[in-house]
Structure 1
Amino acid sequence: MKDDIRLLDLPLKPGDPPFSAWGYWGPEDEIGTLNWLSKDVVRQAAAEIVSGARFSLNWGLNMPTTAGFGRHECRLSHTIYQPGPMLALDEEVSFNTQRSSQWDGQRHFAYQKEQLFYNGVKLEEILSGSSTLGMQNWHKAGGLAGRAILLDYWSYTEAMGETYDAAQEAHAITFDNLMACLQYQQNLSSTPIIPRQGDFVLIRSGFTHCYQKLKADQERAIATVSAPITCGVEQDVRMLEWLWEHRIAAVGGDAPAWEVLPPTCKGSAGFLYHEVLIAGWGCPIAEYLWLEDLAEYCKREKRWTMFLSSCPLNVQGGVASPANLMAIL
């Protein structure tokens, strides 16, 4: 039975990369953990809509000001023009899908040592013109919709009397502290915050909160440093196990990479989450999410679960997409 497969059973085939689940949903699968978004999962998630409050989780397309990770600048270009004699306007928008709030798709990151993408796809196949692992597969599956849990780690640390600079420090959010944050929120909440199959897990690190306070030279410094430095989740096998055992469909947060960089591996955990989640499980990662308004509402209402909906760009062979995320409570 597939449900009996645990993290320690991965990989499924000898020679596959560490913790990879290639073949779990079949050798031709192209949507990975989105397979856990069954009709029953989505229908049950709709029960999270109680007040009708809704929040866009999308940062402006012009943010952050400076592109990080050595990327081409590719600034947002927005042109409005009148195409003909009638009073009507058209527009053209161009941008890098790795800027602002985004989904990292299956084509975005590979296992670095093995040089293989999800389910063993090679770079040559992607660059040959094939649409394998492209964003269009998420649309064929019906997009992304389900229950989400917000782990407001930034507010938790404030409540604990701790401080750190989420925009300029490589602060490692440990597995133990995330579980403590979850328990802290559960103690305040009147409804259960128990992870279940198909959930999305969002982590508020405080990055966008702190980013807004940066001066121009500080903003450029964190984006142009030779080795990326960013706060995020510490690489820990226990975190992988938690995500896998709870059948989490996707993860996301307000930080630039979701995981801490440079990596600070707990114990013998020698991996990047981008490798295992994206290339190993086909699990989408959302970055640079705007969680400030949502977090404030959740804190006030003492409720951290919600219905989440996203319809990324339908680009044949697409690598990533603006998140297009909405939370409804």
Structure 2
Amino acid sequence: MEEPALSVDRLPTYKELLARTDAPRGSSWGLWGPEDQLGTLNLLTDERTARAAAGVRTGSVYPLGLPLHEPGGAIVWRTKPTHHILHVGHEAHDMRPTEADEPDSGFVDRDDYLDGLYLQGSSQWDGLTHIRHPEHGNYNGVPDADIHGGEGSRLGVDQWAKRGIVGRGILIDVQAALAALGRPFDPSSNYGITARDLDDTLEYQGVEVETGDILLLRTGWMGNFYARDDAYREAVLGFGHDDVSQHAPGLAVDRSSVEWLWDHHVAAVASDTIGVEQSPAPDPAQTFSLHQQWLPLIGMPLGEYWWLDDLGSACAADRQYTFLFVSVPLNVRGGVGSPPQAVAIR
């Protein structure tokens, strides 16, 4: 007897995704239709967003992004942006903008622009086109030719910007929970956060994940990064420093991490680290990448380099770890990534 096709009426388990023969194993392709460009953001229904908004208690707002020029240097070609402030209206410049005018020179107004702004150079969303699966290509089978910055481009972050990313957020404060549970955890290491760690943290916090939640994973990596000196930060964000370079905790590089996120049916996940998954992987010969599973196969947005310490302090103070999460990525046609422009409203 032929098995029924997978359907959003009953979200399949990850094991069922791995058993697919009509699409790449472990993928959600086609689940929301052959033309889908949103992936797991489809789980952010109006009803779930309304419930999240109704849960706001104090109205306090916690911004989750770093300044656009920080932290800088994580990937050598991603230079820091240069901010130009122009003065307009000086008679000597015939109404043309210049950066040379002095404040008392009689200019009429200011304008500004950024040079060298890498959309994934600071706090960021990784879009669905950021990672191409080496065998299966892009999410939902979108051809490479359809991914560009021109009119009709597909899978760009502009698809997210047109709807916004708004729903119930959960802070999963792994650093605080494991410390309270007496388990060793070093935020400057490449500790692999297991499914058990996630479950124990949620139990400690008294929270259960619901379909469509946005998870914010706090490891303390970013707070540790800013607490250290310039030499340490330069080494962490550079290459060729084997003692500290690119070491960050994150979800264990194992299929069980993909299974946990999918089976909890979360809409998106972000962290205060360089890559959500542990870096580097424990095995130098490891070829399995969580990014290659989450982005092109599952279609799940990933957030990196987020500032979660202030939110973590507030959540710990009143033991309330859920909030209304709001993010509106830049409306860049065909964009591969975007600053998150995200806030948590408690």
* TM-score of the two chains, using structure 2 as the length reference: 0.84
Aligned equivalents of 1:80 and 1:234: distance in 2?
A: 44
Letter in 1 for 2:81: L
How does 1:118-137 map onto structure 2 within 5 Å? 118-127=139-148, 129=150, 131-137=153-159
**Partner of residue 77 from structure 1, selected from 78, 82, 88:** 82
Q: Secondary structure at the match of 2:269?
A: strand
| Offset from partner CA, 1:20-68 (integer Å, 9 cap, x none) | 1111111111111111111111111112201111100011212114x22
Are the counterparts in 1 of residues 272 and 305 from structure 2 also a CA contact under 8 Å?
yes
**Partner of residue 202 from structure 2, selected from 160, 177, 182:** 182
Aligned equivalents of 1:272 and 1:183: distance in 2?
A: 28
Q: Secondary structure at the match of 2:88?
A: coil
**Partner of residue 218 from structure 2, selected from 188, 204, 212:** 204
Aligned equivalents of 1:26 and 1:285: distance in 2?
A: 22
The answer on 1:302 being equivalent to 2:309 is no
Match of 1:253? 271
Aligned equivalents of 1:214 and 1:163: distance in 2?
A: 20
Q: Percent identity, aligned pairs only?
A: 33
Match of 2:112? 91
Aligned equivalents of 2:238 and 2:210: distance in 1?
A: 39
Letter in 2 for 1:43: A
Match of 1:236? 254
Are the counterparts in 2 of residues 105 and 134 from structure 1 also a CA contact under 8 Å?
yes
| Larger displacement relative to structure 2 (28-37 or 4-13) | 4-13
| Offset from partner CA, 1:142-192 (integer Å, 9 cap, x none) | 11000011011111133234554423x212112111211111111xxxxxx
Are the counterparts in 2 of residues 12 and 20 from structure 1 also a CA contact under 8 Å?
no
CA shift for structure 1 position 264: 4.0
Are the counterparts in 2 of residues 115 and 122 from structure 1 also a CA contact under 8 Å?
no
The answer on 1:151 being equivalent to 2:151 is no
The answer on 1:222 being equivalent to 2:236 is yes
Match of 1:102? 124
Any unmatched runs of 5+ in structure 2?
1-6, 91-106
Q: Alignment length, in residue pairs?
A: 315
Match of 1:321? 338
Are the counterparts in 2 of residues 310 and 323 from structure 1 also a CA contact under 8 Å?
yes
Higher relative contact order (CA 8 A, sep 6+): 1
Any unmatched runs of 5+ in structure 1?
187-192
Q: Which is greater in Rg?
A: 2
Aligned equivalents of 2:287 and 2:34: distance in 1?
A: 26
Q: Secondary structure at the match of 1:222?
A: helix
CA shift for structure 1 position 272: 2.1
Match of 2:15? 8
The answer on 1:194 being equivalent to 2:208 is yes
Match of 1:58? 65
CA shift for structure 1 position 73: 3.5
**Partner of residue 44 from structure 1, selected from 46, 51, 60:** 51
Match of 2:93? none
Match of 2:99? none
| Offset from partner CA, 1:102-136 (integer Å, 9 cap, x none) | 1111111121x316111123434425955111111
* TM-score of the two chains, using structure 1 as the length reference: 0.89
Aligned equivalents of 1:40 and 1:260: distance in 2?
A: 34
Q: Secondary structure at the match of 1:138?
A: helix
- Cα RMSD over matched residues? 2.2
